[in-house]
Amino acid sequence: MKVDPALVDHVARLARLGLTPDDRLRYVSELTRILAYVEKLNTLDVAGAEPLVHPFEGRNVFRPDAVQASPPPEDGLANAPDRIEKFFKVPKVIE
Amino acid sequence: MPGVLPVLNRAAYELGIRAALALHCEIAPFTKFDRKNYFYPDLPKAYQISQFDIPLSRQGWLDVDVAGRALRVRIHRAHLEEDAGKLLHPELREGGDPADDGGGGGGVRAGRAGYSLVDFNRSGVPLLEIVTEPDMRTPEEAYEYLTALKRVLQYSGVSDCDMEKGSLRCDANVSVRPRGSETLGTRTETKNLNSFKFLAKALAHEAARQIKVLEAGGRVVQETRLWDPIAGETRPMRSKEEAHDYRYFPEPDLVPFVITPAEVERIRAALPEMPAERCARFVEQLGLPPKDAEVLTTDRGLAEYFESCVALENAPRAIANWLLGDVRKEMNERHLDIESLPVRPERLVELVRLVEGAQITRLVGKDVLTEMVVSGKDAAAIVREKGLLQIADAASLGPIVDKVLGANAKAVTDYRAGKKAALSSLVGQVMKETRGKANAPLVTRLLQEKLGG
Q: What pLDDT, in 10s, does the model give residues A34-74?
A: 999 999 988 999 888 888 889 888 999 999 999 988 888 89
Q: Can you tell me the mean pLDDT for B274-297?
A: 90
Q: In this complex, is the C-beta atom of A26 within 8 Å of any C-beta atom belonging to chain B?
A: no
The answer to whether the Cβ–Cβ distance between A94 and B239 falls below 8 Å is yes
In a domain, B104, yes or no: no
The answer on pLDDT for B105 being more than 70 is: no
Q: Which of A58-62, B16-20, B100-104, B397-401 has the lowest mean pLDDT?
A: B100-104
Final residue of a structural domain among B265, B288, B312: B265
| In a shared domain, residues B441 and B355 | no
- The confidence band for A89, taking pLDDT boundaries of 50, 70 and 90, is very high
The answer to whether the Cβ–Cβ distance between B118 and A58 falls below 8 Å is no
- CA-based nearest residue in chain A for residue B244: A14
| In a shared domain, residues B287 and B406 | no
The answer to whether the Cβ–Cβ distance between B255 and A56 falls below 8 Å is yes
The answer on pLDDT for B450 being more than 90 is: no
Contact B324, B292 (CB under 8 A): yes
| In a shared domain, residues B241 and B354 | no
In a domain, B105, yes or no: no
Residue of A63, A79, A95 with shortest CB distance to B10: A63
Per residue in B135-172, pLDDT (tens digit) is 999 999 999 999 999 989 998 999 999 888 888 999 99
pLDDT value of residue B111: 65
| In a shared domain, residues B371 and B441 | no
Q: Can you tell me the mean pLDDT for B110-119?
A: 80
The answer to whether the Cβ–Cβ distance between B115 and A62 falls below 8 Å is no
Q: Is the dihedral of CA B287, B288, B291, B293 positive or negative?
A: negative
- A-B contacts (CB, under 8 Å): 99
Per residue in B38-94, pLDDT (tens digit) is 888 888 888 999 999 999 999 999 999 888 888 999 999 999 999 999 888 887 655
**Total domain count for chain B?**
3
Per residue in B202-248, pLDDT (tens digit) is 999 999 999 999 988 888 888 888 888 888 888 887 644 455 688 89
Burial call B214-246: b when 16+ CB within 10 Å, e when fewer? beeeeebeebbbbbbbeeeebeebeeeeeeeeb
The answer to whether the Cβ–Cβ distance between B115 and A91 falls below 8 Å is yes
Q: Can you tell me the mean pLDDT for B1-5?
A: 73
- The confidence band for B98, taking pLDDT boundaries of 50, 70 and 90, is very low
Q: Which of A13-27, A61-75, B205-219, B350-364 has the lowest mean pLDDT?
A: B350-364
For residue B134, the surrounding DSSP H or E stretch is none
CA atoms within 13 A on the CB side of B389: 9
The answer on pLDDT for B116 being more than 70 is: yes
Q: What is the least distance, in Å, from the CA of B293 to any CA of chain A?
A: 36
Contacts of B258 in chain A (CB under 8 A): 59-60
Q: What is the least distance, in Å, from the CA of A54 to any CA of chain B?
A: 6
Percent of chain A whose pLDDT exceeds 90: 46
In a domain, B96, yes or no: no
Residue of B37, B87, B120 with shortest CB distance to A93: B87
Best of B118, B121, B123, B224 to disrupt the A interface by mutation (most A CBs within 10 Å)?
A: B118
Final residue of a structural domain among B216, B235, B265: B265
Which listed CATH number (1.10.20, 3.30.450, 3.40.50, 1.10.10) goes with A5-43? Answer: 1.10.20
| In a shared domain, residues B235 and B379 | no
pLDDT value of residue B387: 72
Name beta bridge partners: B233.
Answer: B228
| In a shared domain, residues B171 and B279 | no
For residue B236, the surrounding DSSP H or E stretch is strand B233-236
d(Cα B439, Cα B406) in Å, to the nearest integer? Answer: 20
CA atoms within 13 A on the CB side of B85: 25
Q: Can you tell me the mean pLDDT for B343-358?
A: 87
For the sheet with B69-82, list strands across it.
B26-27, B57-66, B69-82, B126-132
Winning range, highest mean pLDDT, from B11-20, B352-361, B426-435: B11-20
In a domain, B259, yes or no: yes
Phi and psi angles of residue B285, each rounded to the nearest 5 degrees, phi first: -90, -30
d(Cα B437, Cα B389) in Å, to the nearest integer? Answer: 7
| In a shared domain, residues B134 and B41 | yes
pLDDT value of residue B51: 96
Residue of B11, B119, B258 with shortest CB distance to A86: B119
Q: Which of B234-243, B272-281, B413-422 has the lowest mean pLDDT?
A: B234-243
In a domain, B173, yes or no: yes
Contacts of B223 in chain A (CB under 8 A): none
Rounded to two decimals, the ipTM of the complex is 0.88
Q: In this complex, is the C-beta atom of A40 within 8 Å of any C-beta atom belonging to chain B?
A: no
Contacts of A59 in chain B (CB under 8 A): 255-258
| In a shared domain, residues B14 and B49 | yes
The answer to whether the Cβ–Cβ distance between A94 and B258 falls below 8 Å is no
Q: Can you tell me the mean pLDDT for B384-391?
A: 76
| In a shared domain, residues B376 and B403 | no
pLDDT value of residue B60: 96
Domain that holds residue B195: 10-85+120-265
Mean pLDDT for all residues in chain B: 86
Q: Is the dihedral of CA A10, A14, A19, A22 positive or negative?
A: negative
pLDDT value of residue B451: 82
The answer to whether the Cβ–Cβ distance between B89 and A94 falls below 8 Å is yes
Percent of chain B whose pLDDT exceeds 90: 39
In a domain, B114, yes or no: no
Contacts of B250 in chain A (CB under 8 A): 53-54
- The confidence band for B109, taking pLDDT boundaries of 50, 70 and 90, is low
Q: Which of B4-18, B190-204, B311-325 has the lowest mean pLDDT?
A: B190-204
pLDDT value of residue B378: 87
In a domain, B4, yes or no: no
For residue B9, the surrounding DSSP H or E stretch is strand B8-9
The answer to whether the Cβ–Cβ distance between A53 and B250 falls below 8 Å is yes
In a domain, B5, yes or no: no
pLDDT value of residue B381: 82
